[in-house]
Amino acid sequence: MPATEEPSSGPVIHDHRRIDPVTGQVRGKHVASKPAGTRGAGRPGPGAPGDEAADSASAEASGSARSAGSREDQDTQETQKYPEEVPEVVTQETASGGRPQAAPGQDRAQDGKRAADLEAQLAERTADLQRLQAEYANYRKRVDRDRVAVREQAVAGTLSGLLPVLDAIDQAREHGELSGGFKSVADTLQSATSRLGLVTYGEKGDPFDPKIHEALTSSYSSDVAEDTCIEILQPGYKVGDRILRPARVAVAEPATGPDGTSNEPDSTAAEDSGA
């Protein structure tokens, strides 16, 4: 007959912890439990040696479990009778970092403040962009104006140096000495200066204007009603609105004034003053 294995008579351990160490959940009642490997395995059967000691230990453990369960039931009844006050702002842990989430009212206030900050930043950036655009437009206008002024100044300086050559060509033309190859060179030079914007002005019979004319001689004439250029001694030259050289002219003044009095100096008075 094979020999039967006597069950080991080891200590019996009961788990009365309120929080389950495995799942982390709150247990409903403190139920006496044992590890799975020790349930029914380490307890000796009836009639085995040490049966009385095991029964007494089991009875004490059961009494402790019943007392712990009665205390837990009493705590549960008191909690149901006097529930804790729930705060107005309910917070819950987020799944990401465990941070509390604010109430919907606070979220709306934060969103409104954030939107106001963004609108203020947008208005500031828009004002900066408009100011930069205006400054750039003014800069372009100033650069274009300066470029035109520099070009006109350079052209005017170059043409001013050619004025004596043009005067010599005009004198040769008046005396009939402009012919042959020299005439071709003169015509080419005058065409080039015209393309650069050089304009010749000053005609016989033009009203005298001290801004653009230079009077070299003056006389009186009954044929004119105002100061008039009766002879062009040297033509004037200009580029755009810039006067390179005023026209040098002979001016005739009216012999009588608007009231009919003579503008000519009295010859007798001149002789008396000379005497």
What tens digit of pLDDT does each residue of 96-150 get? 455 555 566 677 888 888 899 999 999 999 999 999 999 999 999 999 999 988 9
Residue in 36, 45, 31, 34 with CA at minimum distance from that of residue 12: 34
Identify the pLDDT of residue 74.
56
Higher-scoring residue by pLDDT: 136, 26: 136
Q: What share of residues in the chain are helix, strand, coil (percent, to 5)?
A: 45, 15, 40
pLDDT in tens, 191-223: 999 999 999 999 998 999 999 999 999 998 888
Identify the pLDDT of residue 107.
79
Higher-scoring residue by pLDDT: 95, 160: 160
pTM of the predicted protein model? 0.47
180-195 and 104-174 helices cross at what angle (nearest 10)?
A: 160
pLDDT in tens, 224-266: 888 999 999 999 999 988 899 999 999 999 877 666 676 666 6
Which contacts (CB < 8 Å, 24+ apart) does range 111-115 have?
Answer: none
Identify the pLDDT of residue 94.
46
What span, in angstroms and rounded, lies between the C-alpha atoms of 114 and 87? 27
Identify the pLDDT of residue 252.
92
pLDDT in tens, 136-177: 999 999 999 999 889 888 999 999 999 999 999 988 988 888
Starting at the edge strand that comes first in sequence, how are the strands of the sheet with 198-201 ordered? 198-201, 236-239, 242-245
Region 13-29 average pLDDT? 76
Q: Domain map of the chain by residue range?
A: 7-80, 198-265
Residue 88 has pLDDT above 50, yes or no: no
Higher-scoring residue by pLDDT: 130, 18: 130
Class of domain 198-265: mainly beta
Given pLDDT bands bounded at 50, 70 and 90, which one contains residue 180? confident
Region 31-44 average pLDDT? 46
Higher-scoring residue by pLDDT: 75, 267: 75
Higher-scoring residue by pLDDT: 94, 186: 186
Identify the pLDDT of residue 177.
85
Residue 19 has pLDDT above 90, yes or no: no
pLDDT in tens, 40-79: 444 444 444 444 444 554 555 555 555 555 555 555 555 5
Find the largest Cα–Cα distance for the chain. Answer: 186
